[in-house]
Amino acid sequence: MTGAAWPVRWRRDPLRLVAVALVLVAGVSAGWFGLSWYGAAHDDGLAYSRTRDEALLAAEQGIQNLNTLDYRTAADGLRIWQDSTTGNLHDQLVNGAEKFLDQIAITQTITTATILSCAITELDDRAGKASFIAAVEIIVTPVNGTPTPKRERLAGELTRTDAGWKLSSIGQVPVT
């Protein structure tokens, strides 16, 4: 074949020309998307968002734990509270456990919490600290009474421990 035969051959067989063009486009696209996927999978933002999501789940679970208690199993509930906390908050729960169990035995209430909304407001991944805000509905049921719902806004902090994120402070946000 001579060099002049190639252009004539391609012009006579446009299907071959289209097929080659499609193969080239597919190869370039595969390379582009492969590089994009690799870049996204190794992006620091992805690791940061995973950390944020872990902290958010821990905040929601910790808030729910600290606002749910049955007077009939208060000692077990208090252990769950202690397992959900760290630092000064944990120390307060441990040091005040006996007094709290006496109070709950007198009041005989059951509280159940539902997280209405929760968000991480700050995250310092290097320091292992996060801040959150939350809206919670708590149903308080006395032993001889009707359930009473109440809504609270909470804010607090989480600290990363060897066992994961735990509540290190929590408090009500005043409503004006």
Does one domain contain both 113 and 151? Answer: yes
- Mark 131-170 as b/e (b = at least 16 C-beta within 10 Å): bbebbbebebbeeeeeeeeeebebebbbbbeeeebbbbbb
Does one domain contain both 148 and 63? Answer: yes
Q: What phi and psi values does residue 72 have, to the nearest 5 degrees? A: -75, -25
Domain housing 130 = 51-172
With respect to residue 46, please indicate whether it lies within any of the assigned structural domains. no
Does one domain contain both 55 and 86? Answer: yes
d(CA 172, CA 175): 9
With respect to residue 103, please indicate whether it lies within any of the assigned structural domains. yes
Does one domain contain both 27 and 66? Answer: no
Residue pLDDT, tens place only, 109-133: 999 999 999 999 999 999 999 999 9
Q: Is the pLDDT of residue 83 over 80?
A: yes
* Angle value at C-alpha 53, between 61 and 63, nearest 5 degrees: 20
**DSSP character for 72?**
G
Q: Decide: 118 and 60 in contact? Cβ < 8 Å.
A: yes
Q: Total domain count for the chain?
A: 2
Residue pLDDT, tens place only, 52-74: 999 999 999 999 999 999 999 99
d(CA 84, CA 164): 10
d(CA 131, CA 160): 12
CATH code for the domain in which residue 158 is found: 3.10.450.50
Q: Decide: 16 and 10 in contact? Cβ < 8 Å.
A: yes
pTM to 2 decimals? 0.75
